[in-house]
Every structure is written in structure tokens, then in C-alpha cells.
């Protein structure tokens, strides 16, 4: 009789390597590994051989980089979705796409369970599991770090467990940062970052980005074009969204763009400190905002800002596959109909300096904005407007003055 199958979200690191024999030993499953490529690059090299050698029956390597860029990143850029004013949601945006692919492979393989290696302290356990529950409520979820049968408590324990099961890979107990990388960003946690009183060791830490003080002494001008809120070209060269992000990563990394150090509030209730490198994403978000300010009216911008913040929270909490996310995205997409045009900016030592913006749908009217009186605006009209606009203030002040005078006569 064939064994039941489990799909393991696999990265090839120590945690998911140790989980393969543990799943076989503990649950008697056939383990099918699934590595979802969101643009993490060379991290995928050699995974096929590693997974098989560790006892997996099969490994899927599924490239969703374009889907990640177009279906997850672009909606968040359009919304200007930034968590707690700094975090550009690099890990958060990738998780629903990974969960969707895990469910797809589980259905294909007829698996009864999906397993992930996220710890019980982090956000990823929530993001993976909410995604799986929303798409496949019948599939069992296994989280070893929360499982009473998981007796492994440290990196050395994991290495020893692997050795006991004939797995001798070059894992080390040497401390290093905990990192997550994809097309959009790379995050860093651990080591000196665990104490918020410490300055990050950027000379040791940075992967995508040059330290601003070591960036070129000459700035570099960049132009970008958008159509209906979607980026379509960089410096006149048309590209798909994923390639635009890759090119902006190169440019931003060169000029020290997009390094943030943040203490954030995790969904599980604790604060955590991390450093994020998002060079291309930072440029893309700023370029989109730069164009949008020409086109959106004041009230739409105000509501969109509120909903952008709400979307950031929704995505951070792993609630991508929800009616609320769909509704917010629908509103945001409706605001992007005329967000078409070109922006220019200069990259210089960690800064993105505006250098002009144009759009056929620009609401900026030079004759209105100019100090020179034009046909469309009579300065005298402002008097009546101010009278009405300030009427509640005046009425209240008059009432307070009246009360004060009565009190003085008592």
C-alpha cells in the first residue's frame, strides 16, 4: 500500500533538511519537496541533489517570479502599501504566492498534508497557514517547531539529527544572520541586530546594496514610464515588471538606496528588529508616488492613503486571500486608470532626488498655480470661500466670547 504524501516547503537550508527525515520517521509520509522560486537566484543551485540525498521522493522547483512581480508586488506598489511607515513587505508579499503553489502541488500529488519550517515566534507561520486554509481547508498543516514530537531545540541539535540519519552536508553552527531573499528584497535578523542598542555592522551585513558613504560621488539620472499605474520602462527601455525590478535593484544597489533598520510589531505580539535591503523596490515606490501626485485629486489621495495603510496591514498579517484585500485592491486599481506618464530622478548616496515628472493626465495647471492672475482664478473669489470655510470656527469663537462676557458680569 502506497504511503500518504506530504508537501514540504523546501529551501535547502538546515531546518528544512532536518525536517525531511523527521517527517518520514514521525509520520511515515513520502516527502515531496517544493521550492518556490520568487527570484532568490543562486540559492536554488544544487537543491535537486540535496533533497533526494536527504530522503525526499521528489523535488519541484517552481518559478513564480513573474507572477510575484505582477500579481503581488504591483498591487502593493499601486496602493503605496508600507507597513509601519518603513517596511516594504518583501517577505509578506511573497508568502501568499508560495502558499498557492504549495496547494497546487499538493493537489497534483494527492498529498494529505503540507509542512513548513517556520518557527512559532514569527509571522511566516501565520502567512503560510492562512493562505493554505483559504485555498485548501481540507489539507492538514504540519508545523514541526510547534509539534510536540519535534525534540530538536538548536542548530547543533539539527546537525546532530542529520548526521544520525546519514546526512552529512556542510552545515555549520557558526552564527550568521537569518536572511530571506527574493526579487524584491533581502531581510536580515540576528547577531548584533538582536540588541536594538547596537548599530548594524553594514560592512558585514549588506548583500544587495552599497553603503551610501561608499556609493559613487557622481549621481545618476534615471527615467521611468508608467501606464495605468504599472511600470513599463526604465531609461527608455521597455521591460516586463520583474526585469524592471532587477534593473532598479542594480541601480539602487550601486547608489546605496533602500536600506532600512526597523523595530517592527509582529503579528504574534512581540517586537523584532531587522534590516531590510530593498533598493529597486524603494525606487519603484517613490517613482510611482512621484507620478501619482500629478494625477490624483486631493480627496482620492487621502482615502487611498488610508486604504494603502490598511492593505499593508492585511498583507503583513497573511490575509491576502480575503474579501477585504480584494476590495481594497479593486478601489486602488480604479484610482490608477490615469496614472500614466514619465518620471525622472537622480540617485545619489542613498537619496532619490526628484528631477521632473510629466503626464497627459496631469491635474497641475500652470496658470492656476502661478502667482500671476489668470482667467480661471480670481483672487477675490477666495474671500467668500474663506468666509464659508471658516464659518464654524467663527461661530464657535463668538459663542465662547459671549459665554466669557456673561461670566465676567456675574
> Active-site positions?
15, 95, 124, 178
- Whether 98 and 68 have beta carbons less than 8 Å apart is answered as no
* CA pair distance 234, 236, nearest whole angstrom: 5
Which contacts qualify for 269-274: CB closer than 8 Å, 24 or more apart?
A: 270/121, 272/189, 273/189, 273/193, 273/194, 273/196, 274/187, 274/188, 274/189, 274/193
Q: Which residues pair with 180 in a beta bridge?
A: 187
Three-state secondary structure call for residue 13: coil
* CA pair distance 81, 73, nearest whole angstrom: 10
- 355 closest CA partner among 342, 365, 366, 346: 346
Q: Which positions ≥6 away from 265 have C-beta within 8 Å?
A: 84, 271
End-to-end Cα, the chain, rounded Å: 98
21-51 burial, b if ≥16 CB within 10 A, otherwise e? bbbbeebebbbbbbbbbbbbeebeeebbebb
183-201 burial, b if ≥16 CB within 10 A, otherwise e? bbbbbbbebebeeeeeebe
Amino acid at each position: 500500500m502506497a504511503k500518504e504524501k506530504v508537501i514540504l516547503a523546501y529551501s535547502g537550508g538546515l531546518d528544512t533538511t532536518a525536517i525531511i527525515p523527521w517527517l518520514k520517521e514521525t509520520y511515515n509520509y513520502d516527502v515531496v519537496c517544493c521550492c518556490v522560486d520568487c527570484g532568490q537566484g543562486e540559492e536554488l543551485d544544487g537543491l535537486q541533489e540535496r533533497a533526494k540525498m536527504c530522503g525526499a521522493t521528489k523535488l519541484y522547483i517552481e518559478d513564480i517570479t513573474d507572477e510575484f512581480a505582477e500579481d503581488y508586488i504591483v498591487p502593493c506598489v499601486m496602493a503605496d502599501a508600507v507597513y509601519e511607515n518603513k517596511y516594504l513587505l518583501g517577505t509578506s508579499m511573497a508568502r501568499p504566492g508560495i502558499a498557492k503553489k504549495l496547494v497546487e502541488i499538493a493537489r497534483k500529488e494527492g498529498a494529505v498534508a503540507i509542512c513548513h519550517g517556520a518557527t512559532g515566534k514569527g509571522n511566516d507561520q501565520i502567512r503560510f497557514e492562512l493562505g493554505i486554509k483559504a485555498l485548501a481547508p481540507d489539507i492538514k498543516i504540519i508545523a514541526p517547531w510547534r509539534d510536540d514530537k519535534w525534540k530538536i531545540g538548536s542548530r547543533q541539535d539539527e546537525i546532530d539529527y542529520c548526521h544520525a540519519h546519514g546526512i552529512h552536508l556542510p552545515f555549520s553552527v557558526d552564527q550568521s544572520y537569518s536572511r530571506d531573499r527574493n526579487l524584491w528584497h533581502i531581510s536580515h535578523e540576528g547577531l548584533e541586530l538582536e540588541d536594538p542598542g547596537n548599530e548594524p555592522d553594514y560592512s558585514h551585513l549588506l548583500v544587495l546594496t552599497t553603503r551610501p558613504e561608499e556609493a559613487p560621488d557622481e549621481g545618476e539620472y534615471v527615467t521611468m514610464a508608467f501606464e495605468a499605474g504599472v511600470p513599463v520602462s526604465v531609461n527608455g527601455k521597455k521591460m516586463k515588471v520583474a526585469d524592471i525590478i532587477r534593473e532598479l535593484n542594480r541601480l539602487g544597489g550601486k547608489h546605496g538606496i533602500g536600506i532600512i533598520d526597523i523595530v517592527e510589531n509582529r503579528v504574534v505580539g512581540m517586537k523584532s528588529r531587522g534590516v531590510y535591503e530593498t533598493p529597486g523596490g524603494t525606487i519603484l515606490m517613490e517613482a510611482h508616488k512621484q507620478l501619482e501626485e500629478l494625477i490624483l485629486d486631493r480627496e482620492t489621495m487621502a482615502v487611498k492613503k488610508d486604504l494603502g495603510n490598511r492593505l499593508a496591514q492585511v498583507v503583513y498579517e497573511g490575509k491576502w486571500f480575503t474579501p477585504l484585500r480584494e476590495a481594497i485592491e479593486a478601489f486602488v486599481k480604479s484610482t490608477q486608470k490615469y496614472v500614466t506618464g514619465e518620471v525622472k530622478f537622480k540617485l545619489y548616496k542613498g537619496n532619490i532626488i526628484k528631477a521632473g515628472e510629466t503626464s497627459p493626465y496631469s491635474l497641475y495647471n500652470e496658470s492656476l498655480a502661478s502667482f500671476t492672475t489668470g482667467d480661471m482664478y480670481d483672487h477675490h473669489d477666495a474671500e467668500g470661500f474663506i468666509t464659508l470655510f471658516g464659518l464654524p470656527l467663527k461661530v464657535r469663537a463668538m459663542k465662547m466670547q459671549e459665554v466669557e462676557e456673561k461670566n465676567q458680569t456675574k
